[in-house]
Amino acid sequence: MLFSIARQQFTNRLSSTGSTVARRSGALSTISRSVTYIGGYYPPTIAGTKDNNCNSNKSYNNNCNKSHHHAASSSSSCSSSRYSTRRLSSKAELKETYDHILVETRFPEDNNVVGGGVGVISLHRPKALNALCDALFDDLIHAVRAFDGDDDIGCIVITGSGKAFAAGADISEMSKREFADVYKKNMFSQWADITKVSKPIIAAINGFALGGGCELAMMCDILLAGSKAQFGQPEINLGVIPGAGGTQRLIRAVGKSKAMEMCLTGNRISAQEALDIGLVSKVIETEFLLEEAVKMGFSIADKGSVSVRMCKEAVNAAEEMTLAEGLRFERRLFHALFATKDQKEGMAAFLEKRKANFTNE
């Protein structure tokens, strides 16, 4: 699904010198309460840990010549606030600050590719191991939609700050809710908006991906695991079951027996086991994980965006269709691409033995 998001011209265009422009919003607020995670992990440094200052967050060093950051204004307390907005480009907008995520845009050294940028979103509640409260997901959905509507961006990467990707939903936020409340609000239904984004999303899973964190990762299109990542669906230990796709997407990824084992025992699996059973596509040393995810994003963004989006649509449709229906759907999308300029350019470039110059038309 394409999101129609109003766009205006850059107000702060990234410098052509390749320097990283960082914008931060001051010190992070102090959390005064302990946080319980759906993953069942209680780190000893949660309570009383000194807050990180947003200005201490270094820009990532990789072979990119442009990067722009949008700061998170708080690290752990899960509250919403009003935001000022900054125009990202002529057709999309990101907020100047978010409460619970960090956002940046990256472009390759040779920034001549139309739509060749990668949008990077870091979940940023480090004291809470990036527990997925409602306000964090509101931030995440807003940023993902903005990137989806930005013609400068061809791929999106979602990762976590600190030692967790996301340790699960915020139990302190859910524990006192009643059936009527969660039923009428259709709790977690908004999480599925991540799957409606038309551009590819890469999950760079840097640490714990438990409960809702594992479910969020499975909503993404490509899963890359850091060497220290752990995966699990431990909701059964809390007297509930996965509620955002854990019983549905996991079985499609790893098969019935392994999905049953993970959901019924609540046991975790390592990054290597996740690779062995097909839950992730690669395991990468944690210190290189984000860099490799962005490089993969550049590779995808280098292709024609129309064919990339149709390819994602066709692969995702395979989970919902019979083989005959899926093959017919795939052929129709294949046929449709012959109406695009990128198809003419791609095939001409192949015959002329040169690199294609896609215009996303």
Q: Is 361 a catalytic residue?
A: no
CB 301 within 8 A of CB 107: no
CA neighbours closer than 13 Å in the CB half-sphere of residue 125 = 29
According to the 3-state scheme, what is the secondary structure of 244-302? CCHHHHHHHHHCHHHHHHHHHHCCEEEHHHHHHCCCCCEEECHHHHHHHHHHHHHHHHC
CB 123 within 8 A of CB 100: yes
Least Cα distance to 241 among 209, 264, 269 occurs for 264
Give the distance from CA 38 to its chain's centroid.
19
Least Cα distance to 360 among 201, 197, 199, 194 occurs for 199
The Cα–Cα gap between 268 and 336 comes to 43
The Cα–Cα gap between 300 and 304 comes to 9
Q: Annotated catalytic residue: which of 169, 271, 301, 314?
A: 169
Handedness of CA 190, 105, 213, 25 (dihedral sign): negative
Q: Is 169 a catalytic residue?
A: yes
If you search the block for the tokens 């125009």, which residue do you land on? 87
Least Cα distance to 271 among 282, 262, 260 occurs for 282
Q: Annotated catalytic residue: which of 215, 243, 245, 271?
A: 215
Active site residues: 169, 212, 215, 235
